[in-house]
A and B are shown apart, each in its own frame.
Chain A
């Protein structure tokens, strides 16, 4: 498979709804699609990252209304274990058509849960819409805390906004302070599991999206599956998105492809290096476990 996965179309888009544009960073694609799917009955609830009782620590939640969905919107800087609720959504919440959003690895987990539903009773056909978010790497909560509180010398609870861009990790506090950490220091904070990740743009999602490749405030959207295509066409017909031809936008699809290639090449190298990580008594290499070969 190509580094960008199979897709039917790729578009630069943003939500037509100004509220969503303001609330959700980078185009509001996920929020708009879930809101549309909820209203149309394509899903009867969605698993998204919501706030928790600790500042900036995401917690998975099931939303069943547009208001709840909007309240949960926004970019998170650490992974929210959304798969934790995938069976629960069909049980305690009684959902028959579940929407879920996640990183590429979480989309992979969702497809594995559908194809090999080992501990996922009565879940496979209730997964109605899977949205993927591009992901280069991720941090643990403690890593984020170390960056904000140690490197940037700000309290987690006083941070209003975080931002990654132009080679810096920037935090903005409620009282107007701006602190930064050069992005090169972030490397040691990346969670180890991300170094074996071979997917950048959620190749297995129904629709995947991220800001890379499109101008500020816009997102690059891959429409992938038949299901994704139907939902996207419906949302377009309902006038929910402003779109631009991907050919015409800067920096364009080439950048997405470049970053995907870089990530996958680097991580494939890491996966390969694990094969000769250690040393056996007979002088031959000793391997670490490789999830892409055998359990």
Chain B
């Protein structure tokens, strides 16, 4: 196979990944699209900033910035880079549960070798405004792929594509406005307590740490296991269900598959 370096396609969008206090699982998730990642980079997006994947030392201008990890308030560089990323990007995404909700870093009490003074880890929205949330730990390759394709359509598509991308991305943008605390308890507070749960089982099927079991038709959360990733609530069909997008599921799945061919 011949390898050649092609010039970037002119109308691609630019995407970067800013790595804060995360485990790199989110970055690996991007790569877990395998050949899909190459397709994204060939046709839709230039990766302009990312740990180990791109040799750029300083936060550049970009259309979409994916922020991985929570922000350590005791680490000046993290705070500075996060603010710089906000200033230099059109769309800032809390990519993964640590950035969105703190996730496992919520449990940090400091005193760790070799940075004992670092103890204050917050979701990035404590420091900067965030446009879009992609919860879960780790996020799913297919979810970030869909968001990348939709971001491309939003910024470079025709009117119809822009409308579709807007409709698709809206709930994820609303999620960013909803708040930066997540827990399996959200299923109680905002689904069951609101009289909205119908026992479908999605939350239990979603939880990455198997903290949820279905007991007599309702989720039961083992709160000691919960890492506060927000996947259960955002995946629940009763957190949001946007008929304008869902009714067109067949067309959208075909369009995404087509875009990735």
Chain A minimum-CB-distance residue to B139: A118
A117/B143 in contact, CB under 8 A: yes
Specify which of A1, A102, A113, A295 is in contact with B171 (CB 8 Å cutoff): A295
Using a Cβ cutoff of 8 Å, how many contacts connect chains A and B? 183
Contacts of A68 in B (CB 8 A): none
| B71 contacts A by Cβ under 8 Å | no
If A116-B146, A140-B199, A294-B174 touch, whether A289 touches B217 (CB-CB below 8 Å) is: no
B253/A79 in contact, CB under 8 A: no
| B21 contacts A by Cβ under 8 Å | no
Contacts of B249 in A (CB 8 A): 111, 114-115, 204
A204/B200 in contact, CB under 8 A: no
A103 to B253, CA, bound (A): 22
A226 to B221, CA, bound (A): 38
B214/A112 in contact, CB under 8 A: no
B198/A60 in contact, CB under 8 A: no
Of the candidates B178, B216, B231, the one having the most CB atoms from chain A within 10 angstroms of its own CB is: B216
A87/B196 in contact, CB under 8 A: no
| A248 contacts B by Cβ under 8 Å | no
A118/B241 in contact, CB under 8 A: no
Q: What is the size category of the interface that chain A forms with chain B?
A: 35 or more
A79/B217 in contact, CB under 8 A: yes
A121/B141 in contact, CB under 8 A: yes
Specify which of A86, A105, A142 is in contact with B198 (CB 8 Å cutoff): A105
User: Which stretch of A30-38, A193-201, A212-220 is in the interface?
Assistant: A193-201
Contacts of A118 in B (CB 8 A): 134-136, 139-140, 143, 206, 231, 234-235
| A96 contacts B by Cβ under 8 Å | no
| B72 contacts A by Cβ under 8 Å | no
A78 to B190, CA, bound (A): 23
Give per-residue flags for B213-237: 1 if the beta carbon is below 8 A from chain A beta carbons, else 0.
0101110000000000101111111
**Chain A contact residues, CB within 8 Å of chain B:** 1, 6, 57, 60, 78-88, 102-103, 105-106, 108-109, 111-125, 138, 140-142, 191-198, 203-204, 225-226, 288-289, 291-295
